[in-house]
C-alpha cells in the first residue's frame, strides 16, 4: 500500500526540508511513500469573496488532478476529527487493510480547501486546535504517520 501526501506550496526553510527528508527515510522502512508539492497560487489582493472562491477552485482542481478514483483521501482540516497518536495509529492501520490503491493525505493552501476537494474526501481529520504553518503541518503529519507504524509494531519510539 502506498501513502502519498499532497500539499499546496513548497517547503522554503532548510530545517523543514531536513526534517521531512528524515521522516521520509524512516518511513521507507515501512511503506512506499511520496510527497507531491503543488505550486501555490498567488493570493489576489484585495481578496474579495469571489476571488477567494476562484482561488480555492484553482488549487482544488490541481489537487483533484493528483487523485485517482480508487484512492482513499484523508483531508487535514481544522474542522476535522482530532485523534491522539494511538487512535491515529489504529486509523492508519485500518486504512492499510482496505482494498484501495493508495492512501492520500491532503494539506490545503492558506485559504483552505475547495468544496470539491471536501466532497472528494473519505475522511477529514485535524492535527488539533492549534494553528500550524503548512510547512509545520507537513512535518507533524509525517512524524505522526511514522509514529503510527512504530506503535502498530510495538516498537519503541524515543525521537
pLDDT tens for 104-145 read 999 998 899 999 999 999 999 999 988 888 899 999 999 999
| Residue boundaries of the structural domains of the chain | 2-152
> What is Dmax (Cα atoms) for the chain?
52
- Nearest Cα neighbor of 23 from 105, 155, 141 is 141
Give residue 159's pLDDT.
55
pTM of the model: 0.93
Which CATH superfamily hosts domain 2-152? SPOUT methyltransferase, trefoil knot domain (3.40.1280.10)
Give residue 41's pLDDT.
85
- Nearest Cα neighbor of 70 from 48, 99, 92 is 99
- Taking 70 as the pLDDT cut, the residues of the chain under it are 99-100, 158-159
Give residue 158's pLDDT.
65
Give residue 156's pLDDT.
87
| Cα separation of the two ends of the chain | 25
CB of 6 closer than 8 Å to CB of 38: yes
Amino acid at each position: 500500500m502506498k501513502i502519498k501526501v499532497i500539499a499546496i506550496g513548497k517547503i522554503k526553510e532548510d530545517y523543514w526540508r531536513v526534517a521531512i527528508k528524515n521522516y521520509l527515510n524512516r518511513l521507507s522502512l515501512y511503506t512506499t511513500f511520496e510527497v507531491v508539492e503543488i505550486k501555490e497560487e498567488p493570493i489576489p489582493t484585495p481578496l474579495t469573496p469571489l476571488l477567494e472562491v476562484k482561488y480555492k477552485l484553482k488549487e482544488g482542481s490541481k489537487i483533484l488532478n493528483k487523485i485517482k478514483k480508487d484512492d482513499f483521501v484523508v483531508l487535514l482540516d481544522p474542522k476535522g476529527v482530532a485523534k491522539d497518536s494511538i487512535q491515529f495509529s489504529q486509523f492508519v492501520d485500518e486504512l492499510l487493510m482496505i482494498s484501495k490503491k493508495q492512501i492520500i493525505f491532503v494539506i490545503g493552501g492558506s485559504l483552505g480547501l475547495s468544496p470539491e476537494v471536501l466532497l472528494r474526501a473519505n475522511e477529514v481529520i485535524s492535527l488539533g486546535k492549534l494553528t500550524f504553518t503548512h510547512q509545520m503541518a507537513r512535518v507533524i503529519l509525517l512524524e505522526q504517520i511514522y509514529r503510527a507504524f512504530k506503535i502498530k509494531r510495538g516498537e519503541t519510539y524515543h525521537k
